[in-house]
Structure 1
Amino acid sequence: MQLDLQLGQAIKGNVEISERNLMLVFQVNCPSCLSRALPMLMRLKEENKGFNFFALSTAFEDFNLNNAKSTKALIEQGELTLHSKRYFAQLGLQKLPYEVDVPVVMDWFMPTIASSELAESIYNVFDKERLSQTVMNSIKAHLAQRLLPMSQMGRTFLNNGFQGTPTWVYFDKDLRIIQSWFGHKEIEWVQALLDK
């Protein structure tokens, strides 16, 4: 299976695809991404030379929090967003308790104008002369309701049909997926995969 990788703004370091790559797809407003997944990615990086490790910040919800501005603040100042802030506050922490030492890049997002053009082009397919204005208004409202959230999602996240975050993708230089999974696995399981 081929990975559809759509890289956007670089937040920290540069991402260069190599022979063996492990990508963590995360959201800044995902407590388990920040408390378990990112630290594990960094530990794997320390213990595995010859691999390319990086994190892709994406959004499939909470678009006002999961964005480039919040990702930059997290990486540069350790600033946490709503759910992540609540989680770390329970541990007595106000900021991310570690420095992220892997490259971090944003997923690519469709410009808002492109999503409205898409909705308009779909709307224009309908035969407006045969349908009542009430039906056409309903179609337009439904398109806006369905397409707007999809247009705000990160393209790598959406195009690959990922289930949520954290999502891990192990792939080669030709973007062939060797293994991918949603959620958490024990580090020993991941290490065994990388050792193959």
Structure 2
Amino acid sequence: MSKFHLNIKELVQGEFNVNKVNLAFVFQVNCPGCFIYGIPMTNELYKSFKDKVGFIGIATAFEDFEYNNEASLKLLLENRTLVGETKKYYNTNYGVSNYQETLNFPVAFDSMVSSEQFINSGKVELICDAIPNFQDFPEKEKEAVVQKVKEFYSQIPLLAETFTINQLKGTPSFIIFDDNYNVLAHYFGHQNHEILKVKLEDLLKVNLV
């Protein structure tokens, strides 16, 4: 079972307590879809399961760094200020520049590092370890894979650690994990609320939380 690697500087809002079942909601501030359905759904799940499930929202950045940053996240949390494409969508479709919901769950910003810091921190090895049967590769082949991954990330000036190490496909992403950070389920993109709700209910029954 793969591990969920949570790399954040500090919580911007709330307090995250690890439970037997946890849900991480990974989003970008400049991601209209995250606001249209990701945040409302996470709010609903939080309302239903907050006493039994650990929740954490992680604002990340893999593009549009002028909007996807901690300053924009704080503006969103403090007074619901929207930016970039998200602001454009709500302004065009609803005539508003501020989000109509609050984020009710704990929220942090992803740890951002330079490519040099990332490559020299041992995090590349974590990515490679997640490759099926990587530890069974011949040593020279393992070294070649590690080197190739390092060369790839050396071309990207700024990296979000949680997003990158976990090899997420984009935002919104939902990761369900246990108290040992083993990944129990992973979803990307627009999800049906009922799917995540039933999954959490089933996991809670198994874990007798």
Q: TM-score, normalised by structure 2?
A: 0.75
Shift of 1:115: 6.2
Residue 192 (1) aligns with residue 194 (2): no
C-alpha spacing 1:6/1:116, structure 2 compared with 1 (3 Å): closer
Q: With the length of structure 1 as denominator, give the TM-score of the two structures.
A: 0.80
Alpha-carbon distance between aligned partners in 1 of 2:67 and 2:119, rounded to the nearest angstrom:
22
Matches within 5 A, 1:156-195: 156-195=162-201
Residues 144-169 of structure 1: CA distance to partner in whole angstroms, max 9, x if unpaired? x96353x4221010011101000000
Percent identical residues: 28
Equivalent-residue separation in structure 2 for 1:22 and 1:117 (angstroms)? 29
Measured in 2, the distance between the counterparts of 1:148 and 1:75 equals: 32
Moved >4 Å (runs of 4+): 115-118
**Cα separation, 2, equivalents of 1:116 and 1:185:** 33
**Structure 2 unpaired stretches of 5+:** 122-150, 203-209
Q: 1:179 to 1:117 in 2, by over 3 A?
A: closer
- The answer for the alignment partner of 2:137 in structure 1 is none
Gaps of 5+ in 1: 119-142
Deviations 1:48-69 (A, max 9, x none): 2311122001001111111111
User: What is the SS of the residue equivalent to 1:153?
Assistant: strand
Q: Which residue of 1 aligns with 2:71?
A: 69
Residues 114-193 of structure 1 aligned to structure 2 (within 5 Å): 114=117, 147=154, 149=156, 151-193=157-199
**In 2: Cα distance, 1:146 partner to 1:16 partner:** 32
What is the alpha-carbon distance in structure 2 between the residues aligned to residue 116 and residue 53 of structure 1? 29
User: 1:75, 1:41 → 2: CA distance?
Assistant: 15
Q: What is the CA distance between 1:31 and its match in structure 2?
A: 0.5
Residue 110 (structure 1) shift:
1.2
1:17-44, Cα deviation, whole Å (9 max, x unpaired): 2211011000000001012101110101
Offset, 1:16: 2.3
SS at match of 2:113: coil
1:26-105 map, 5 Å: 26-48=27-49, 49-89=51-91, 90-105=93-108
| Secondary structure of the corresponding residue to residue 59 of structure 1 | coil
Q: How many pairs were matched up?
A: 170
What letter corresponds to residue 62 of structure 1 in structure 2?
A: D
Which digits, 9 at most, give the CA deviation of each residue in 1:115-161, with x for residues without a partner?
6989xxxxxxxxxxxxxxxxxxxxxxxx7x96353x42210100111
What is the identity, as a one-letter code, of the residue corresponding to 2:197? Answer: Q
Superposition map of 1:100-111 within 5 A: 100-111=103-114
Q: How many Å separate the matches in 1 of 2:174 and 2:117? A: 29
Cα distance, 1:111 vs structure 2 = 4.8
2: CA distance, partners of 1:161 / 1:115: 14
